[in-house]
């Protein structure tokens, strides 16, 4: 691991600017023994900068432990931690969601968040010339681009090529966290784009094939054209189809890219490889985000996989972190773990429910408590779910 990366994450953490994805990476790195000396040097420097010494004062230990645990530390615990300040520091770093870092308290105002509305139809369309257009569920407009007309009707875009030989510049449709959108491509293919996703595609399919690029998750209903195969590229897979419907989940923080076939047939390849696997309806191709470029099969219940498109969260023995990643994207919140109970959820929840109701349903297991808060002030404020045991 490059020491510059470790130092970058440490400084982002100390400044309170680390993202949820970076925080997960940081927590993992802290636990690796080979990184101990590097972290120790970073913490030494931080302690010298903030207190002028590498020793942890007793009152700092007391204050930090009381903040994390909610009760004062015994004098014997404090004496032990003073003798082993590095072990204490590493322990505090592992509590990456804590508001405090070592001896420097973070005064980030937190107040209760009454509720938060679910996501909705919203996106940003980036045209080939780099200009951007904000889209939402109320929009009604026609955008002219060379020989192509782009009509927005609420939460849908539809492309119509008005003249043969139209130019084929590339557009990108991007949904933010808390947004989703539908687009009808120039060939008639319909794409439902899930939250926090991006689809890059030409304004006219004029080549030997129809190739689009996906980040995040989307459901495709591909218009049949045997002479012009349809391809979807992600970072971990390339999918080739003639006419079919399928779902691709390629979120980078999920660990895998999963292609699920609903109808028809698709061939799934690893990037840059010709050999692949052919899926039948109800099958999945899974590619790990570990650089191995290995594909594996799995069976799936297709309606469950595309439940998001039909307005549902559907969980089948999903662990807590998987569920929380779904809520983070759809409600545009951050999740802070003060505890990570071993819980698995099975059931469905409507995606149009407010966050408070979803959290209340999850609490019915009795194994975890959830608190909704808003942290920070002004434009830097962020809505959070804090998970308590």
Q: Among 271, 306, 341, which residue terminates a domain?
A: 306
Among residues 200, 196, 215, 194, which one has the least CA distance to residue 309? 194
| Residue-by-residue pLDDT tens, the chain, 389 positions | 567 777 888 777 766 667 767 777 776 776 677 777 777 677 666 655 554 444 445 554 454 444 444 445 555 555 544 444 444 454 444 444 333 333 333 445 678 888 999 999 999 999 998 999 999 999 999 998 888 899 999 999 999 988 766 667 899 999 999 999 999 999 999 999 999 999 999 999 988 899 999 999 999 999 999 899 999 999 889 999 978 999 999 999 998 999 999 999 999 988 766 668 899 999 999 988 877 767 888 888 888 999 999 999 999 999 999 999 999 999 999 999 988 889 999 999 999 999 999 999 999 887 889 999 998 877 778 999 999 86
Identify whether residues 343 and 284 lie together within a single domain.
Answer: no
pTM of the model: 0.71
Are 168 and 278 in a shared domain? yes
Examine the domain organization and report whether 146 and 246 are in the same domain.
yes
272, 291, 306 - which closes a domain: 306
Same-domain pairing of 95 and 201: no
Q: Is the distance from CB of 110 to CB of 375 less than 8 angstroms?
A: yes
From the CB of residue 74, how many other CB atoms can be counted at a distance below 10 Å? Answer: 10
Question: How many Å apart are CA 7 and CA 137, to the nearest integer?
Answer: 43
Find the CATH number of the domain harbouring 275: 2.60.120.1440
284 and 176 assigned to the same domain: yes
Q: Does any domain span residue 112?
A: no
Q: Is 372 inside a domain boundary?
A: yes
The two tokens of residue 371 are 């608190």
pLDDT for the residue numbered 4: 75
Buried-exposed string 273-305: b where 16+ CB fall within 10 A, e elsewhere: eeebeebebbbbbbbeeeeeeebeeeebebeeb
Contact in structure between 205 and 228 (CB atoms under 8 Å): yes
**Confidence (pLDDT) at 295:** 83
Residue 351 and residue 269 share a domain: no
302, 317: one domain: no
Q: Is residue 115 part of a domain?
A: no
Alpha carbon distance 133, 127 (integer Å): 8
Tokens 């999945």: give the residue.
Answer: 284
> Closest Cα to residue 205, out of 161, 246, 156?
161
The reply to whether 287 and 163 lie within a common domain is: yes
Are 271 and 342 within one domain?
no
Identify the bridge partners of residue 380 per DSSP, sorted by sequence position. none
| Structural domain includes residue 323 | yes
Query: For residue range 91-137, what is the model confidence (pLDDT) as tens digits?
Result: 444 444 333 333 333 445 678 888 999 999 999 999 998 999 999 99
- The partner residues of 282 in beta bridges, in order of sequence, read none
Let me know whether 298 and 190 are in one domain.
yes
Q: Which of 54, 72, 107 finishes a domain?
A: 107
Number of domains in the chain: 3
Q: Give the domain range for residue 189.
A: 120-306
373: domain CATH number? 3.55.50.30
Does residue 99 sit within a domain? yes
193 and 322 both lie in a single domain: no
- Chain-centroid distance, C-alpha 183: 21
Residue 223 and residue 287 in one domain = yes
């Amino acid at each position: 691991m490059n020491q510059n990366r470790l130092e970058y994450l440490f400084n982002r953490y100390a400044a309170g600017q680390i993202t949820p994805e970076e925080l997960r990476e940081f927590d993992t790195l802290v636990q690796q023994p080979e990184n101990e000396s590097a972290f120790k040097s970073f913490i030494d420097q931080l302690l010298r900068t903030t207190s002028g010494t590498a020793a942890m004062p007793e009152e700092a230990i007391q204050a930090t432990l009381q903040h994390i645990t909610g009760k004062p530390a015994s004098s014997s615990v404090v004496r032990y931690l003073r003798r082993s300040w590095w072990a204490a520091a590493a322990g505090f770093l592992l509590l990456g969601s804590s508001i405090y870092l070592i001896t420097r308290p973070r005064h980030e105002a937190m107040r209760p968040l009454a509720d938060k509305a679910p996501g909705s139809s919203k996106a940003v369309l980036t045209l080939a010339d780099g200009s951007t257009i904000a889209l939402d569920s109320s929009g009604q407009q026609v955008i002219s681009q060379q020989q192509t007309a782009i009509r927005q009707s609420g939460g849908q875009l539809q492309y119509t090529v008005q003249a043969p030989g139209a130019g084929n510049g590339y557009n990108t449709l991007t949904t933010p966290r808390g947004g989703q959108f539908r687009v009808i491509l120039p060939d008639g293919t319909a794409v439902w784009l899930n939250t926090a996703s991006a689809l890059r595609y030409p304004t006219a399919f004029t080549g030997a094939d129809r190739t689009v690029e996906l980040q995040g998750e989307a459901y495709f209903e591909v218009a049949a054209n045997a002479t012009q195969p349809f391809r979807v590229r992600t970072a971990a897979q390339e999918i080739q189809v003639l006419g079919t419907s399928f779902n691709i989940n390629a979120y980078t923080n999920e660990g895998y890219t999963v292609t699920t076939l609903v109808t028809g047939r698709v061939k799934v390849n690893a990037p840059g490889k010709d050999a692949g696997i052919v899926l039948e309806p109800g099958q999945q191709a899974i590619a790990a985000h570990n650089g191995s470029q290995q594909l594996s099969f799995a069976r799936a219940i297709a309606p469950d996989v595309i439940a998001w498109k039909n307005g549902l969260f559907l969980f089948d023995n999903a662990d807590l972190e998987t569920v929380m990643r779904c809520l983070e994207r759809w409600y545009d919140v951050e999740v802070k773990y003060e505890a990570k109970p071993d819980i698995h959820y099975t059931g469905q929840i409507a995606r149009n429910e407010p966050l408070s109701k979803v959290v209340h349903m999850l609490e019915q297991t009795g194994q975890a408590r959830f608190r909704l808060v808003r942290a920070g002030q002004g434009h830097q404020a962020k809505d959070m779910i804090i998970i308590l045991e």
